[in-house]
A and B are shown apart, each in its own frame.
Chain A
Amino acid sequence: MKYLIANSTAEVLEFLKEAGGTASILAGGTDLILDIESGKKKADTLVDVTRIPELKKIEEVDGFLEIGAAATLTEIQKNPLVRKYFPSLAKGCKTVGSSLIQNVATLAGNVITAQPAADAGMALSVLDPRFVLVDEEGTRECGVDEMYAGFGVSTLDSGRTLMTKIKIPLPNKNEAASFQRLELRKSLSLPMLNVAAMASIKDGKFEWVRLRMAPVGKGPVRAAEAEEWLVGKEVSAETFKKAGELALENANPRSNPLRGSKEYRESTLPVMVRRALLEIATQLNVMEG
């Protein structure tokens, strides 16, 4: 196996082209290396993108927060801009694996590995992120739903395409986001459930809500029924409750011998949704937590 260290985006594309699709981009490698060892994934060449300066940047640009694809979860959760605009994203990044994992793993990787319960990717999913992708054809932007092809399967072919950065529109004053995690262990453990929400509240009512949940299907699953119903509804405990019940309409959790039965996950998903909405209302000082 070849291990190549790229110094620029152009060099990455060059390496990928040379390998003719048999290479894989490596950032943190916390999943990829294990998958290669266990034979789940194959790659003749690994292209290390962690030393490309532009991929490490976290900055505010024209109304967006831009997070470089090689920025680690630790760098993201500690970044003052992330903490200022998106505390829920910092929270999500902080719950992936353990500190040791977070020191090398990336947010981009958390999306591309496409595990349904990936905490950082979940927290990100409701922030209306745009993923900037580069390949031989050029540069394009993708939304969340275009990224997930299945359980643990991304639409992105990392033998051909490089994610360079994630752009997140900065929130307005009346907007906030939240992230809730139901867990058996704080570290080194996938969640039993996680729920992310973002909403705009005006005059005590929801203007719009983005609500996603996992692991209840492929990637971060949209609670579409709840989202639609919530528009224009008063911010109240009753509203949260109804939204929690509606979220079940789009959720199809499976039983896991360790992380909860289908029945348990269905019982607690509405609770997590309520708590996610309450967290937003609390942040915006509409309700007391």
Chain B
Amino acid sequence: MTKYVGKNIPRLDGYDKATGRGLYTTDVNLPHMLHAAVLRSPYAHAKVVSIDVSEAEKMDGVVAIATRDNTPRTYFNVTASMILTVPPAKPVLDQQIFPDVVRYIGDEVAAVAAETLEIAKEAIKKIKVVYEELPAVYDVEEAMKDGAPQVQPDFSPGNNLCGGVIKIRQGDVDAAWDEGEVYAEHTMYLPRVKQAQLETHGAVASYNPDGNLKVYSTTQTPYPCKVIIATVFGMPSSYVRVKNPPHVGGGFGVRIGISAKAELIASALSIIAKRPVKYIYSREEDFLASDTRHGGLIKCRLAAKKDGTFVALDAKACMNTGAYATFGPDLVAVLGACGIAGIYGIPNIRYDGHAIYTNQQTAGAFRGYGTPQGTIATEMCVDSIAKQLGMDALELRLKNTTRVGADWWFPYPVKSTYLNECLEQCAESIGWKEKRGKKQTGTIRRGVGIACGTHVSNAAPFCVDYDAAYMRIESDGTLHVASSIPEIGPGVTTGLLQIAAETVGVPLETSRLAYGDTDVGPFDIGSHASRTLYAVGHLFVKIGKELKKQILEWAAKFLYVDVETLDLVDGEIIGSCEKSRLCIKPMPLGELAYEAHLRGKQFLVHGCEVPPNSPPWHAHAAEVEVDMETGMVKVLKVAAAHDVGVAINPVLVEGQIEGAVAMGVGYAIREEMTYEEGKGFYNDSYHKYMLPTMDEMPEIDTIIVDAFDPAGPYGAKGIGECGLVPTAPAIISAVEDAIGIRFYEMPMTPGRVLKKIKEVYGDDLENL
């Protein structure tokens, strides 16, 4: 029996967050601190000919102005891919703090630090910039044509392909294709969508002339953030400290690495001014000048036998990565691996992934990291095969899903999968048997749909991916754990402490995890890839066991008993009377630790390891209602079934799923960024971006299937991103069930839906 693992322990940061005490980057105010504002390009593509800051410099209260002329010209990548790319692959370093050529509307040109934010904002208006406009390209298909304007001629000479073509191969698709008896082939068009995390990007940088730089930051990867800053400014990494304050208002992938350019701009200004500088992105800057999810198109075809057995899957993704690489090449790889190659056992798979440069803002990591896009493409073909065969879409999936021990493309084994249990349980919850395929008439029509998928529990071995941490017992017997991981909202710092306390055998109530600070813990890659609880948990189990062993070995010597006779349970050293010649009384760990302290001994361990990887699995079933006269799609219910292995803290897992389903619903029916040539993206605020609110949320039935993974800590797998992977394809499938129309373009906004309804049903929709 476990004492903490598997229990709904209230999150440890709950009090801080519920009462408003918790500090976020925007709350950090340092003595003599300046405020920054940034001048951004009004052009999609232009050469910066000259920058004249003389008028701005004259303003009272302006302390420092940063441009390309007085800041490092180092090339970098804002994302952690800068330092986690596995050789022989090389990271694409195509960004500079202030480039000579601006490549999208919003690109950084200059920054001002002033006594107040108002002065800084006024000052940037007084900077005179001469631009020379260059031809621009916005659309993926246009950008792939010969002779298209070149977005990054130095990094993709002759074309706009960022980081080369990503290829996944299994079996021989061409040879096997004719073995098929039924074929599906479609192209899916996907929108660009925004993370819209609650806290905008921000940093407070404080440079000390002795060479030390301390940066409060919204990053979701403090350690990589520190390394990137040190590299860009050519500083010793040991002199740079990155700290979350400790709270971060969401991540969703948008700040894996640095937070857009917040840390670099605040640092550049602080180095010039030799005073602390605060730079908080406005909501508009956050929407228009930081990574989004990749839109684009995926061509996908699937061959199957008449009995439904999948034979070959062939896909090509062309994703709009915007003006700079950020995570583009890595992301199209995951799109293919998890979204295309992972879900079903298919002997022949071919995937070509393209990240395409355009003159739009960058696209990068966003919860799911390409997997949602790939899953939508795969599932559109699976539904098409089911329809052609007259086979139940659930049965077809159950027949083809990846199995334990499968011979699959991934370099690690499938040690557990409960995907079929997920499919069956979400189908049961939605009422699949009674509702699917029921003929609908009239104005309001209902339908149900299903989709499934997989993902990862970290990025190893595709990326450099490891964790290091310390654990110690204080002289009063309490456990202190130190790691540089952040807490971006999921409650992972609570879950990890549950694992640590459980493993060492001490009370959770007196244990503490210090986190979110590179001066507190050693290297950690940070929170991304649904990894932190799984990977850091794996490390905590390893070093927690070592710590316990160290304690018991010392205790055995101190008590003159054999170590095998001792155990540490709930903060007490327990002796076994059967095994030992001495029957000792339980001894509080605090007493032992103090005895050790008196003799110059602290129980202390550290560890560093690359985690194993375990694919999590998930299936969602959705029920929708479609208004045939307005094209309005309403999602009534999502049954979300997940194989997360063992849930370390079930209520936190449910929270992750519910939040992700909300994002999946928005992705399917509402959210999209619309580009207006010459103006940029229209969606510069929550008001102009249709995130669902609680009014639009369907009933969500979260189902955590009974599962166990042999590789994960206490049997756990990742969850962070998984909750939105199958949501959108399940909703698309449900809309098709309701009105007989499959959508190959998202989101299914009323305008898009009504247009299709009219194409199929004609203009008279009143008396259907």
- Tell me the A residues contacting B by CB distance below 8 Å: 182, 184-189, 192, 237, 241, 257-258, 260-261, 263-264, 267-268, 271, 274
Contacts and interface: CB of A to CB of B under 8 A. Distances in A.
Contacts of A241: 766
B630 interface: yes
A264 B752 CA distance: 9
A186 B754 contact: no
Contacts of A264: 631, 750-751, 754-755
9 contacts: A184-B749, A185-B690, A185-B693, A241-B766, A257-B676, A257-B682, A264-B751, A267-B758, A268-B754
A188 B686 contact: yes
Contact of B690 (A182, A258, A261, A267): A258
A274 B632 CA distance: 16
Contact of B693 (A187, A192, A260, A263): A187
A187 B749 contact: no
Given A184-B750, A185-B695, A271 B629 contact: yes
Given A263-B751, A267-B758, 10 more contacts: A182-B630, A182-B750, A184-B670, A184-B690, A184-B749, A185-B693, A185-B695, A189-B690, A264-B751, A271-B629
A264 to B, nearest CB: 4
Contact of B687 (A189, A260, A261): A189
Among B683, B690, B755, chain A packs the most CB atoms within 10 A around the CB of B690
Contact of A271 (B630, B692, B751): B630
Contacts of B689: 258
Contact of B682 (A187, A192, A258): A258
B122 to A, nearest CB: 12
A105 to B, nearest CB: 15
A118 B682 CA distance: 21
Given A184-B670, A188-B693, A268-B754, A258 B630 contact: no
B50 interface: no
B8 interface: no
B674 interface: yes
A21 B674 CA distance: 41
Nearest to A240: B766
Contact of B696 (A185, A257, A261): A185
Interface in B626-651: 629-632
B688 interface: yes
A187 B695 contact: yes
A7 B570 CA distance: 66
Nearest to B628: A271
Contacts of B766: 237, 241, 274
Contacts of B631: 264, 268
A268 B630 contact: yes
Contacts of A192: 750
A185 B692 contact: yes
B746 to A, nearest CB: 15
A211 to B, nearest CB: 18
Interface in B614-636: 629-632
Which 9 residue pairs of A and B lie closest in terms of their CB atoms, listed nearest first?
A186-B695, A264-B751, A257-B682, A257-B674, A271-B629, A184-B690, A268-B630, A187-B693, A260-B751
A279 to B, nearest CB: 15
A241 B676 CA distance: 36
Contacts of A274: 766
A171 to B, nearest CB: 28
Nearest to B766: A241
A184 B633 CA distance: 10
A189 B690 CA distance: 8
Nearest to A241: B766
A186 B693 contact: yes
B629 A268 contact: yes
Interface in B667-703: 670, 674, 676, 682-683, 686-693, 695-696
Given A185-B670, A185-B693, A268-B629, A258 B688 contact: yes
B465 to A, nearest CB: 38
Contacts of B751: 260-261, 263-264
Contacts of A271: 629-630
Contacts of A261: 751
A187 B690 CA distance: 10
Nearest to B693: A187
